[in-house]
Amino acid sequence: MQFSRDERLFNFFNIAILIVLTLLFLLPFLSVVSTSLISGKEYATRGLFILYPRQPVLNSYQMLLGQGSIVINAYFVTAARVIVGTGLNLLFTFPLAYVLSKRKLYGRVPLTMFIFFTMLFHGGLIPNFVLVEKLNLLDSFWSMILPPLINPWWLLIMRNFMLAIPEELEEAAIMDGASPLVVLVRVILPLSMPVIATIGLWYAVMHWNAWFDAAIYINDTRKLPLQLILRGILEYGAGQYSDYSGLAEMTELADPPPAESLKAAMIVITTLPILMIYPFIQRYFVKGIMLGSIKG
């Protein structure tokens, strides 16, 4: 196709503006990455947030990830949270989604309303906190796992997917003498893998990024997830964790990194796993937005 002069002009400006916008989206993060690589010496002579360091060093990372560091500990907490949390999320969401997808189930509509109502009305922050306190879950790993066990929106999205599975498939399996459990595991589960993968990823990212629940429920520094160690370092500096070995060595380094560089490195450490899988998971999230309607 030949473009006219006007068309070419339009394309040129459209592309130029989008390139600028894209760089603006990216710039804040890139400048944090470059800050994380600046050495104390370079900081003293050039100041921070130069677009790229002349002599990039990994001092900040070494300090944060040093032997026995609280950051490593928090990584394990977060990893446990993502794995255990997502596993249980799916274990609870999948069966209920299946039950709600049974059109002939007695009481299906009131059951759906019972769940739907929780999307519109919440007890609020304080009653939730009191509940977790009364259940003796304060300072427990489970305070991060149990309260967000089922996301009602995602549950209904999963149910919508399952509504589209033809009932004849199940009926045929039952004719062949399969028990309901076998039908669920051998017929429904394999057919639902796309939606399970999608929603599993949503739960996993939710767990990786969650921080507020741990902020109010967890006191013990050793039980804090990565996001909260990051928050602590951002707001009060890395020094507060000097009781935990690894960070204590910061003053002994020949060239201790500047405080801003430590903070930046901690941001990168917290985001890196998301960044690494992001290109692969992105399309699942985009697809999920389209699964919008949740009418019963």
Partner 1 sequence: MQQTGGEQLGVGVTPASSAYTERRGFREAWRQIKRDRFLYALAALPLLYFVIFQYLPMVGVIIAFQDYDPFLGIDAMFSMDRWVGLKHFRNFFDSIFFWNVMRNTVVISLYKLIFGFPLPIILALMINELRMRLFQRTVQTISYLPHFFSMVVAAGIVRAMLTPQGGLLNQLVVALGGEPKAFLTDPTLFRSILVTMDIWQQAGWNSIIYLAAMATINPEMYEAAAMDGANRFQRMWYVTLPSISFAIVITLIFRIGGMLNAGFEQILLLYSPSVYAVSDIIDTYVYRAGLIGRQYSFGAAVGLFKSILALILMYMANKVAQRLGQEGLW
By rule CB under 8 A, what count of residues binds partner 1?
92
End-to-end Cα separation, the chain, in angstroms:
47
Taking the CB of residue 213, how many other CB atoms lie within 10 A of it?
A: 19
Within positions 137 to 156, which residues make up the interface with partner 1, using CB under 8 A? 146-147, 149-150
From the list 59-67, 79-87, 130-138, 247-255, the region that binds partner 1 by CB under 8 A is 130-138
Smallest separation, CB 70 to partner 1 (Å): 16
Residues whose CB falls within 8 Å of the CB of residue 281, separated by 6 or more in sequence, listed in order: 201, 205
* 22 near partner 1, rule: CB under 8 A: yes
- Under the binding rule (CB under 8 A), the answer on residue 263 touching partner 1 is yes
Burial grade of 139 (CB within 10 A; 0-12, 13-18, 19 or more):
exposed
- Calculate the CA dihedral of residues 11, 13, 16, 21 and round it to 10 degrees: -110
Contacts of partner 1 in 46-65 (CB under 8 A): 47-49
Nearest to 195 by CA among 130, 287, 103: 287
Q: Max CA-CA distance within the chain?
A: 79
Q: Name, in order, each residue with C-beta under 8 angstroms of 8's C-beta and a sequence gap of 6 or more.
A: none
- Please identify which residue in 140, 151, 209, 240 interacts with partner 1, judged by CB under 8 A: 209
Q: Does 272 bind partner 1 (CB under 8 A)?
A: no
Question: Is residue 86 a contact point for partner 1 (CB under 8 A)?
Answer: no
Residue span binding partner 1 (CB under 8 A) among the ranges 10-18, 66-74, 163-171, 244-252: 10-18
Q: Which is nearer to partner 1, 129 or 249 (CB)?
A: 129
Residue type for position 123: G
Q: Is 5 in the site for partner 1 (CB under 8 A)?
A: no
Closest residue by Cα to residue 43 from 33, 30, 28, 53: 53
Selected range binding partner 1 among 52-60, 67-75, 165-173, 264-272, rule: CB under 8 A = 264-272
3-state DSSP assignment of residue 35? helix
Does residue 98 belong to the site contacting partner 1 (CB under 8 A)?
A: yes
Cα of 223 vs its chain's centroid, Å = 18
Smaller CB separation from partner 1, 51 or 252: 51
Q: Which is nearer to partner 1, 215 or 248 (CB)?
A: 215
For the beta carbon of residue 70, count every other beta carbon within 10 angstroms.
Answer: 25
The pair of structure tokens assigned to 84 is 């255990």
Toward partner 1, which CB reaches closer, 99 or 165?
99
Site residues (CB under 8 A) for partner 1, limited to 166-185: 180-181, 184
Out of 125, 169, 193, 197, the only residue in the binding site for partner 1 (CB under 8 A) is 125
Contact window for partner 1 (CB under 8 A) among 58-66, 162-170, 188-196, 257-265: 257-265
